[in-house]
Amino acid sequence: MPEFTEHGVLPIGVHHATEEEVFARFATSSARRQWLGERLRDVLTTAKATGKLHRLILWGSFVTAKPAPNDLDLLLIMAADFDPAQEPEPLRVLFDHAQARIRFRADVFWTTIAMPADTLDVWLDTYQIGKDFQRRGIVEVSIS
């Protein structure tokens, strides 16, 4: 994964990283980052428990140099046949935006791999635009 720019963000693009790299890079330098890292571990554990997780994309302040990010912003890309209504209640919470916000301190968005590639590209491009309207990089976490 590349170094941060002079503005404390990743260079433009989708940067691939393993789970271990993400935790080492973004979840260790402050108590807040460690706490958010534990929330991210919870998200990953829950999403993987469905057996349907294909991809995870992270963006926002968590993948910047900001010492105390506010929360997690992420996109889960699930199997084409994924239906959260078919999951046990403890797993469904992750796929309800409001409940996920409370439980994981994360803005969780999700889709399936059946989403057209050009639509997903638009989503990923949008996630690369910060609140300051400047472009920045995002991270795709390799699912193991």
Burial per residue of 55-74, b for 16 or more beta-carbon CB atoms within 10 angstroms, e otherwise? ebbbbbbbbbeeeebeebbb
Q: Is the residue at 72 inside a domain? A: yes
Q: Is the residue at 8 inside a domain? A: no
Task: Give Cα 27 to chain centroid, integer Å.
Answer: 13
Predicted TM-score (pTM) of this structure: 0.94
DSSP 63: G
Confidence of residue 144 (pLDDT cuts 50, 70, 90): confident
Q: Is the residue at 6 inside a domain? A: no
Query: To 10 degrees, what angle do helices 19-26 and 31-49 make?
Result: 160
- For range 71-98, the mean pLDDT: 96
In CATH, what number is assigned to the domain containing residue 126?
Answer: 3.30.460
Q: Is the residue at 1 inside a domain? A: no
DSSP bridge partners of 73: 59, 107
Q: Is the residue at 138 inside a domain? A: yes
Residue 98 has pLDDT above 80, yes or no: yes
DSSP bridge partners of 140: 16, 57
Q: Is the residue at 2 inside a domain? A: no
> Residue 86 corresponds to which tokens in the numbers above?
């078919």
pLDDT digits (tens, 9 = 90+) for 107-128: 999 999 999 999 999 999 999 9
Q: Determine the structural domain holding residue 40 and report its residue range.
A: 14-142
Number of domains in the chain: 1
